[in-house]
């Protein structure tokens, strides 16, 4: 199973890098490992685009996968994007898109909790299991624009409260929270 996971990730990453590099000319600069990661210098093969397959062993491959996957910041970046899309869906009354984005937000929060288990309590207690997620989902499925806007505001405030509880309240100054702060008036 472990080898299958590594192989799958290696194929995905190598195919992604081939697509990216194929239109970029080579610079002629010799490859080297970044100095900031001393573990890389232990690799017996020279640095190459095969950064995962070239690792000395599976333990190092898994360390690299964890490094590549990040510690939750990519999930939060995706959640921020989807929060904007959810806001837009509510504004357009595109309820299916809203449900889709909300469910994706939930999924990314769960992945973030797996990567950062010290944040699980607040992710669950402030959004996933305290009624905020379910109320937002219910508002979208009932296609009630006024209720969806109110629940979105509650969800936004829950996100911001979680940031404060996690001692990263400074991220609440991000442009995303200003962009989704309000909705235009509902036309009657």
If asked whether residues 168 and 116 sit together in one domain, one would say: yes
Question: Is there a domain that residue 23 lies in?
Answer: no
pLDDT in tens for each of the 188 residues of the chain? Answer: 667 666 666 555 555 555 555 788 889 999 999 999 899 989 999 999 899 999 999 999 999 999 888 888 899 999 999 999 999 999 999 999 999 999 999 999 999 999 999 999 999 999 999 999 999 999 999 999 999 999 999 999 999 999 999 999 999 999 999 999 999 987 76
If asked whether residues 105 and 134 sit together in one domain, one would say: yes
If asked whether residues 146 and 103 sit together in one domain, one would say: yes
**Closest by CA position to 37, among listed 59, 53, 60, 19:** 60
Domain hosting 4: range is 1-14+44-69
Q: What is the pLDDT at residue 87?
A: 98
CA dihedral sign of residues 53, 51, 16, 74: positive
**Three-class DSSP category at 71:** coil
What are φ and ψ of residue 179, in 5° steps?
-65, -30
If asked whether residues 49 and 61 sit together in one domain, one would say: yes
For 96, other C-beta atoms within 10 Å of its C-beta total 11
Question: Is there a domain that residue 2 lies in?
Answer: yes
If asked whether residues 138 and 164 sit together in one domain, one would say: yes
**Three-class DSSP category at 7:** helix
If asked whether residues 97 and 156 sit together in one domain, one would say: yes
Question: Is there a domain that residue 153 lies in?
Answer: yes
Question: Is there a domain that residue 3 lies in?
Answer: yes
If asked whether residues 115 and 139 sit together in one domain, one would say: yes
Look up the pTM and report it: 0.79
If asked whether residues 165 and 79 sit together in one domain, one would say: yes
If asked whether residues 143 and 61 sit together in one domain, one would say: no
Give the chain's radius of gyration (CA, Å). 21
DSSP class of residue 18 equals: H
Give the number of domains in the chain: 2
If asked whether residues 140 and 158 sit together in one domain, one would say: yes
């Amino acid at each position: 199973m472990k080898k299958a996971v590594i192989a799958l990730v290696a194929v995905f990453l190598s195919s992604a890098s081939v697509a990216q590099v194929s239109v970029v000319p080579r610079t002629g600069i010799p490859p080297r490992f970044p100095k900031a990661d001393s573990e890389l210098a232990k690799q017996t093969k020279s640095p190459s685009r095969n950064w995962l397959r070239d690792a000395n062993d599976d333990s190092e491959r898994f360390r690299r996968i964890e490094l590549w996957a990040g510690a939750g910041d990519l999930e939060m970046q995706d959640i921020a994007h989807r929060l904007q899309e959810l806001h837009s869906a509510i504004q357009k009354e595109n309820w299916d898109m809203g449900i889709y984005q909300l469910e994706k937000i939930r999924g990314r929060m769960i992945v973030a909790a797996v990567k950062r288990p010290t944040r699980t309590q607040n992710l669950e207690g402030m959004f996933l299991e305290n009624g905020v997620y379910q109320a937002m989902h219910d508002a979208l499925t009932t296609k009630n624009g006024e209720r969806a806007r109110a629940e979105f505001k509650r969800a936004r405030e829950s996100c911001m409260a979680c940031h404060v509880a996690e001692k990263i309240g400074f991220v609440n100054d991000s442009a995303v929270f200003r962009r989704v702060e309000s909705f235009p008036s509902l036309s009657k």
